[in-house]
Amino acid sequence: MYGTVEVYGAEPPGVGLPVLSGSPCRERHPPIMNVRRSAAVPAVIAVVVALAGSGSGSGPAFAASPSPSSSPSVSLPSGLYGSGDPTYDGVWRQSLALLAQDAVGVKPAASGVAWLAGQQCADGGFAAFRSDAGAACGAKTLVDTNSTGAAVQALAALGGQDAVVGKAVGWLKSVQNADGGWGYAAGGASDANSTSVVIGALAAAGEKPGEVRKGGKSPYDLLVKFALPCGGSGGGAFAYQPDKKGTLVANADATAAAVVGLLGKGFGGASAAGSATDGSLSCAKSTAPAQVARNGAAYLVQALAKDKHLTSALAGAEDQPDHGNTADAVVALAAVGEGERAADSLGWLEANSAQWAKESGPAAYAQLILAADAGSADPRDFGGQDLVSLLNSTGPAPASVPASPASSSSPSASASASASAEDDDSRFGVWWTVGVFLVAGIGIGFLLSGRRKRQQS
C-alpha cells in the first residue's frame, strides 16, 4: 500500500522504521514498504536501502507505499493514480488502488489498467516506475519482487491480463531464493514481507504457493523459519529477517504480512476471510503454516491491545501511531478468522486515519478500504468519509461505480475528494532530512558494499 511514504515491510534490525502496506511495502508493504505501510519516510530511502540488502542476510529490503515527495520530477501519465512523484512507488500505489477498487465493485478506468500492464519489462518483472514504458528495460532497470507481486495481484483480480500475469509469475519463480523466499531485489536476502507479497501474487494467479519450491524449500518454509518461538519475548511474532547475529526480532509489520502469506492470501485476502473460531487464540508450538499464522495473529492481538493501534518507532523522533500497519493487522486478523478481535482497531482507524490518508494518497486510501472490507465496515462511510470516492478522485474516472446514495448525495464527500487529490509538498523537506538521518544510521559502508549492479532507469 503516496504523498507520504510508507515503508512496506522493511524494518532493519535495530532501526524502528515503519513500513510500504501500507508493504511494497507488502505495502501491504510496502514493507514498502507493503503502506504496508504510518509515519512518513521518503520513498527514495526504501529503494536505496533495498539495494544495500542483496545477499547480506541482514540488509533490509524496502518497498514503497505512500510517499511524501516534492513536485514530480517526471510528467504524470493520465492513467496513474496520485499526483506525487511516482519514481519510487508508481506501480505499487497503482496496484493497491486498482485492487481496492475491484474489492468494492468499482470497475477501474481502462487507462489505469493499461498503464499498469504497460510497466512490465520483457522478462516479466516490474520496476517501481518506468517513465518511458516504450523503451526496452535494460541492465539499469531496477525490477523488484514487491512491484511485480503487487502488479500481479491487481491484474489477476481484474482479469483479462493473463499474458502479463503469466510472464510476471514466471519471473518471480525464476528469482526465488534457495531458502524458498524472496528479497526485495532479485538475489537479495529473503525477508518476510517480500515473500508474503509474492505468495499473494502466486495465489492470485492460480498457483499453489506451497508447491513453488527452490532447493526443496517453499515460501511457507521460509516464513515458518522467521517465526519467533512461543514462550519467549515476542512469541508467535515474525521477524522481518534475522539480524546480523542471526537473532529473530519481533516485527509487527512483518507479522501482519506473514499471517496473510501463510494462509496463501494477498493484500485483499481478507475479503475471503477465514472461518470464525471457537474463541481461543494462543501461541502453540507447531510448524504447520495455519497454526503458525494463528500464532502470529495472537501476537498482533497483544500488540494492538494497549492503544488499539500499532506504533512506529522512528529513530530520533517520538513514537507515533502507525496507521498503515494497523490497517494491515486488521486484514491479517480477519484473514485468520479473528476479525472480531480487530474491531477496536478498525474503530480507531475510522476515528483517526483521515488526515494520514489525505497526506499519503491512493495507497493509503486503498489500505483503509481493504481493512474496512475485511472488518465488515462500510468503506463509503468510514469515520464519516467515503473512502471509495476519495480513492477514485486520485486517478482517472472509473469505468463504472456501484450506486451509492451516500456518495452521490454528500457534498462534503465531494469536497473532501477534491482536497485529497492535492499532495502536501511542504512535508517533503522535513521527511527527506529524517530519511537521510535513517540511512546514516544504517551505515554508509553497508549501503555501498551491498549496492546492486542494477540502477533505476
**Cβ neighbours for 396, distance < 8 A, ≥ 6 positions apart:** 78, 79, 81, 108, 109, 111, 112
Task: Report the pLDDT value the prediction gives residue 314, as an integer from 0 to 100.
Answer: 66
Whether residue 313 is predicted with pLDDT greater than 80 in this model: the reply is: no
Distances (CA, A) of 332 to 29, 224, 320, 328, 443: 13, 16, 21, 6, 33
Query: Average pLDDT in the 430-434 region?
Result: 38
Q: How confident is the model at residue 71 (pLDDT cuts 50, 70, 90)?
A: low
Least confident window among 148-162, 169-183, 235-249, 278-292: 278-292
Residue 289: pLDDT above 70? yes
Burial class of residue 272, CB neighbours in 10 A (0-12, 13-18, 19+): exposed
Q: Which residue reads 507505499 in cell numbers?
A: 65
Q: Is 32 helix (H, G, I), strand (E, B) or coil?
A: coil
C-alpha 338/C-alpha 340 separation (Å) is: 6
* Structure confidence at residue 169 (pLDDT): 98
Contact 219, 258 (CB under 8 A): no
- Tens of pLDDT, residue by residue over 123-158, are 999 999 999 999 999 999 999 999 999 999 999 999
Note the pLDDT of residue 279: 64
End-to-end Cα separation, the chain, in angstroms = 23
* Average pLDDT estimate for 388-415: 74
Over pLDDT 70: what percentage of the chain? 69
Kindly state the DSSP code that residue 23 receives in the 8-state scheme.
-
Report whether pLDDT(87) > 90. Answer: yes
Helices (H) and strands (E) in the chain, counts: 18, 6
Contact between 405 and 130 under an 8 Å Cβ cutoff? The reply is no
**Averaged pLDDT of the chain:** 79
Q: Whole-angstrom Cα distance, residue 102 to residue 331?
A: 16
pLDDT, tens digit, 9 for 90 and up, residues 202-225? 999 999 999 999 999 999 999 999
What whole-number percentage of the chain has pLDDT above 90? Answer: 67
For residue 405, what pLDDT is reported? Answer: 52
Amino acid at 287: T
Q: Which backbone phi and psi does 327 adopt, to 5 degrees?
A: -60, -40
- Residue identified by cell 478506468 is 109
Report pLDDT for 75. 83
The pLDDT tens digits of the residues spanning 378-387 come to 999 999 999 9
pTM of the predicted structure, to 2 decimals? 0.78
* Residue 438 to residue 41: CA distance in whole angstroms: 9
What single DSSP character describes residue 58?
S
Q: H or E segment at 433?
A: helix 427-442
Q: Tell me how far apart the alpha carbons of residues 430 and 435 are, in angstroms, rounded to a whole number.
A: 9
Which residues 6+ apart lie within 8 Å of 405 measured at CB? none
Q: How far apart are CA 369 and CA 386, in angstroms?
A: 10
